[in-house]
Chain A
């Protein structure tokens, strides 16, 4: 059964028509990867799903149309967001960032958050802007996991992280995927190979391929054609 159904999503930013009738679905459970070269509209798709940019089209979460709702209403309906570049509130402490993320009508699972990210518990009183890049990524994920979500949108979590932190991140995301359905934008294909069950590929604002991640990544030539990069064996 599909948890997320997107039909004819269009986004125009200024003079630029970024997304053209983007349609796809995300099955409940596990990780679905949203892939494509730089600038094809992956982040815009994420922001479009949440209403952070003006868009037209249909977005249904668990059968409920949300394209007519405001961003905070979509999120309150159980859609978490971990944005590109983390976007933690630098002037607030770690504790304040988490307190701000507490949603009304949801339980706040600090035990889960601190079991996944024990360093966050140690740094509750530290300003988020003084955390390392990896720690900021952990905080961004922690904010997304604090509430009960049906769907978690995670945008380029490995961007700018050192390799050992990426390994740590993959382990965390594996555990996260056991708890919530994840739509993941990611450039790191070895990470996608390890985490994703399904894959959607965008090119120039259009969906050009959907299927299982295994099918996509096992076809080296196809992957090179679609994503512009080779896949490590």
Chain B
């Protein structure tokens, strides 16, 4: 047994308390070219991205360096959130750099860099670095789990802070 058995490849999240960044690491049992394709082919992207209880509707998708994208999260036929940005760099099978904005917060933008590291034996490590434009924005993303709506976490913190 090695440390790369399927049971140990769970997503790792790192949030720096001093910098507005989130780092996410995940290994996949597929070679970089295939994982990369699942990341940039809109038909494939729509099949895994987005929350479990909604579907992704891709409005535009030009995954080339300098291209742009927009997609919406749809629940029961209704658009619940929309996101857009540009493909800053599409380096086949190695690196994907995008800007990302949730239209509900149009002044907010993050820079998303995803690297696809070949681990050999048909495996790939994806490391995503999100640089958000403020600590507040980063914390909001962390607290909401990227979901739009009322945030119980904040409410709980309010209660807690009110007590102290």
A in complex with B: no
